[in-house]
């Protein structure tokens, strides 16, 4: 950000989180469960799609990305479905807090 590195991880997941106006605590809890339990890593025998970030004790890097809520209207992006900054910041921080509670806080960046 502005030429400065804010965070980094080793092995793990990079989560680009787009927060919608319609997102609630229920969606937040669902996202946390899905991200931490998503089986995208191979196991010790090399079998693909069998281990989660928690199984492997990997890290999770989260990036708030409102542009994922973009709707194209002709040739112009429309972000009216993205949660406004004030609400989204609180939602995002709550999301990080829930990830840290459900997993290892030091592995959530």
Cα→Cα distances 30→23, 27, 35, Å: 11, 5, 9
**Cα gap 31→2, rounded to integer Å:** 29
Instruction: Quote the crossing angle between the two packed helices 85-102 and 25-37, to the nearest 10°.
Output: 40
Q: Active-site residue 67, yes or no?
A: yes
Q: CA nearest 107: which of 35, 26, 46? A: 35
DSSP class of 5 = -
Residue the block writes with tokens 């209207």: 73
Of the candidates 57, 67, 90, 94, the residue annotated as catalytic is: 67
The catalytic site residues sit at 67
């Amino acid at each position: 950000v502005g030429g400065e590195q804010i965070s980094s991880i080793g092995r793990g997941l990079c989560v680009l989180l787009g927060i919608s106006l319609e997102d609630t605590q229920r969606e937040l809890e669902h996202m946390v469960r899905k991200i931490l339990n998503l089986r995208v890593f191979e196991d010790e025998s090399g079998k693909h799609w069998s281990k989660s970030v928690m199984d492997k004790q990997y890290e999770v890097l989260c990036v708030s990305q409102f542009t994922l809520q973009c709707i194209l209207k002709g040739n112009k992006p429309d972000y009216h479905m993205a949660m406004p900054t004030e609400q989204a910041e609180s939602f995002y921080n709550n999301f990080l807090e829930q990830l840290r509670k459900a997993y290892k806080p030091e592995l959530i960046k």
